[in-house]
Every structure is written in structure tokens, then in C-alpha cells.
Amino acid sequence: MLHRFAPAPHLQAADQGRIVGEHHLAAGTLVAPCIATANRDPRAFPDPGRFDIHRAENNKHLAFLHGIHFCVGAALARLEGQVVFEELLRHYPDFGAGSEPAVRRTSDAVARGWEKRPVRL
């Protein structure tokens, strides 16, 4: 799921001056990489618009960043997600999406999520 719904954007400072496309970024310039776009790159994720929790490429997402900036809490976040869904399904075996459509929050540039997401228990 993180490949489709990265939890929050992040800012990085350019470590040195770079040319990106036709733009010059001076060292120290803050940039906000679009993780959602990177996580939908068809070169890394075949049929990237399809939601599939079983896809083999699920571990290639950048929701926890990469390299020296990799999230130190990634293992805990993954474990929390696993436990939450195991317990939800144990207590509510019919758990699923509700019949009403989700209301997507689009104006928040800090965190992604739904304003309203009906579920069936």
C-alpha cells in the first residue's frame, strides 16, 4: 500500500549545485521530490495504476526514502500495519470498503489521506 499512498512528502537540500532539466539548483536549495510519481513509474511498477498488495515489486517503493535517508522507523511502521490488518480481519472478517465513495483530501500538502472513507465491518 505504501507504494500507492506514501504517507508524507519530505524536503531535501541539494548537497551540491545541479542542473535538473533546464533549471539550476544551487547547493542548499530545498527540493520536494514527488514520491507519489516515483512510486508510479511503470519502469519499476508494471501497471502502476492497479492496486495490488501481492505485486512482487512492492518493496521497491520510496515511501520510506532510500540510502542514508532511509526511515529508521520503517520496520516498526511495517509491523504496525501488519498487526492492524491482522487484528481487523480477525475481529471483522467481512472488513472492506463501504458502499459510499471515499472523499479524498487534496488540499493538504503535508500528509495524504481521506477526509472520509466509509468501511464495512
Q: 40-90 pLDDT, tens per residue?
A: 888 888 888 887 778 776 677 877 878 887 889 989 988 998 999 899 999
For the segment 96-107, the average pLDDT, to the nearest whole number, is 79
Same domain, 99 and 47: no
Same domain, 67 and 78: no
> In the structure grid, which three cell numbers stand for residue 52, read together?
495490488
Same domain, 66 and 80: no
Same domain, 78 and 65: no
Same domain, 67 and 104: no
Q: Is the pLDDT of residue 117 over 90?
A: no
Same domain, 62 and 92: no
Where a domain ends, among 47, 71, 95? 71
d(CA 34, CA 16): 20
Q: What is the pLDDT of residues 3-32, one digit of tens each?
A: 666 655 667 888 889 888 898 999 999 887
User: By residue range, what is the domain housing residue 89?
Assistant: 72-121
Give pLDDT, residue 41. Answer: 85
Same domain, 13 and 30: yes
Same domain, 42 and 84: no
For the segment 97-120, the average pLDDT, to the nearest whole number, is 76
d(CA 39, CA 41): 6
Q: Residue 30 in contact with residue 12, Cβ under 8 Å?
A: yes
